[in-house]
Structure 1
Amino acid sequence: MKVQSYLSFEGRCDEALGFYKKALGAEVIQLMRYADAPPSPPAPPDNADASCGGAAPSPDKVMHAVVRVGETELMASDGRCSGQPKFEGIMLALTAGTDAEAVRWFNALAEGGQVMQPLIPTFFTSSFGMLTDRFGVGWLLVAAHPA
């Protein structure tokens, strides 16, 4: 069994993927836009697509993407295009190999976001910190080696 994270950026997926490329060296390995999908059969009028207010999503929006961050693959899309992504109750944990790497990633992800716990040494590691990035995704960063 494999469990993966699927992030809905509510219309900001392209922007988020570009941000993670710059901040973490992420690599987009799959990207499908709504324009790439085959035409759907017409739905009955009483069964309109509520995901976009009854209208079809914009063809340039991301229907599905897979991005590789280090050894991990995350899936993402524009979701319902509400413009208001909400990532409540979850965080993505990112393990750095060195303190310098933890600092670099932490600072890059914090740009335009909100730091909840600055990077500090703890009893369990030499670098630990938490933040929410500019898209509302929570990140927990830790150095792989103990303090």
Structure 2
Amino acid sequence: MKIHAYLIFDGNCAEAFTFYAQCLGGAASIMPVSENAECAGMFPADQHHRTLHACLTLGDQLLMGSDTLGDQPYDGIKGCHVSIQVGSIAEAERVFAALSAGGEVQMALEKTFWAVRFGMLKDRFGVPWMINCEADNASA
């Protein structure tokens, strides 16, 4: 069994997943409504630019998402964080800086009692993230 996060956006999913691929690496696959004839017919033309499904693949891990479609209400992403575990302080600092660009730092990346680096942020798309580095494997 694997558990993967699925994020819902309100029209900017493609932009977010392109940003995540730049920040985290991996490959982003983005399918707008317009590329699926069966689904395109189900939604008004002004929604065809929205993302039907997006997937960021990092090895055997996935981060998935889509935009709201139809008349679905959107209330933002609440009640959870996407948590990233990294193996070095340098990688923690790189990922934290990249994801927080244009966003809001909620807890600065710093040493804690459980980790050599931990920080929390909300990216420019409103997605909450936690970056955790339990040990600096780069110095091992």
Greater gyration radius = 1
Cα deviation for residue 64 of structure 1 reads 0.8
* Aligned residue identity for 1:21: A
For structure 1, the residue ranges without an aligned partner over 5 or more in a row are 43-48
CA contact (8 A) 2:17 2:55 kept: no
In the superposition, the TM-score normalised over structure 2's length comes to 0.81
In structure 2, the CA distance between the partners of 1:70 and 1:141, relative to structure 1 (3 Å rule), is farther
Question: 1:65 is matched with which residue?
Answer: 54
Question: 1:105 is matched with which residue?
Answer: 95
Question: Is 1:77 matched with 2:63?
Answer: no
Distance 1:134 1:77 in 2: 16
Distance 1:69 1:90 in 2: 21
CA contact (8 A) 1:114 1:131 kept: yes
Could you list the structure 1 runs, at least 4 aligned residues long, displaced by more than 6 angstroms after superposition. none
* Aligned residue identity for 1:62: T
Cα deviation for residue 58 of structure 1 reads 2.6
- Identity among equivalent positions (%) equals 35
Q: Please say which of residues 134-143 and 69-78 is displaced more in the overlay.
A: 69-78
Question: Is 1:37 matched with 2:36?
Answer: yes
For structure 2, the residue ranges without an aligned partner over 5 or more in a row are none
Distance 2:47 2:14 in 1: 13
In structure 2, the CA distance between the partners of 1:117 and 1:70, relative to structure 1 (3 Å rule), is farther
In the superposition, the TM-score normalised over structure 1's length comes to 0.78
